[in-house]
Amino acid sequence: MTSPVHGESGSEPDTLVIRQAMSDDAETLSALAGRTFRDAYAAQSDPADLDDYVAEHFTVGLLSQQLQDSSIVHLLASVAGEPIGYAILRLGMPPDCVHGPRPVELGRLYLEQRVVGRGYGAALMQACLGEAARMGCETIWLGVWEENHRARAFYKKWGFQDIGRYEFEIGGKVDHDPVMARPVKPTE
């Protein structure tokens, strides 16, 4: 998947390449996931709690296992060969509030902070919807931190609606964050 997306100046397109990550991408994904997660939550979370979460959830070993799991798809976005974002789609049991047919979770969609606002998030979301359709899914759902207003606005722009709540724990603190969902293919 390749799409021209205009760079900061708007005059020259940067070629964004979005592809399914392979097993040899585990180290790249681990570093990227750690950086983008810390960036997203640094202002609101204790640095030690972030370090603990990253050390548990974004290890090369864990990501290597996930990259071998046919129920999980990792999409890796890069510009000029440099990774700038990623997304994860996961099949499995959704929370009780997800009622749509054949659901898939958009488990993560993160970009490097320095590229936010350049259209890469939209391209990555479009790739996720395309991959979800290819997987035979009809409903896509996600959990999002209640205080991440920018992400919530982005998802609402893409037609996601609040449908319930889920628990997310970091550093012993449990948040009850929104679950959002939409059809994979928009209804006419």
Give residue 187's pLDDT band: very low, low, confident or very high (50, 70, 90): low
Given its phi and psi angles, is residue 117 left (phi above 0), alpha (psi -120 to 50 degrees) or beta?
left
Using alpha carbons only, what angle is made at residue 46 by residues 40 and 50, rounded to the nearest 5 degrees?
55
The reported pLDDT for the residue numbered 40 is: 83
Count of alpha carbons within 13 Å of 178, Cβ hemisphere only? 17
> What is the tally of structural domains in the chain?
1
The tokens describing 158, both together, are: 């893409």
In a domain, 188, yes or no: no
In a domain, 112, yes or no: yes
Expressed as residue numbers, the domain containing 177 is: 2-183
pTM of the model: 0.86
Q: In this predicted model, what pLDDT tens digit does every residue of 103-155 receive, in sequence order?
A: 999 999 999 999 999 999 999 999 999 999 999 999 999 999 888 888 999 99
Q: What is the CATH number of the domain that holds 97?
A: 3.40.630.30
Nearest to 143 by CA among 170, 180, 88: 180
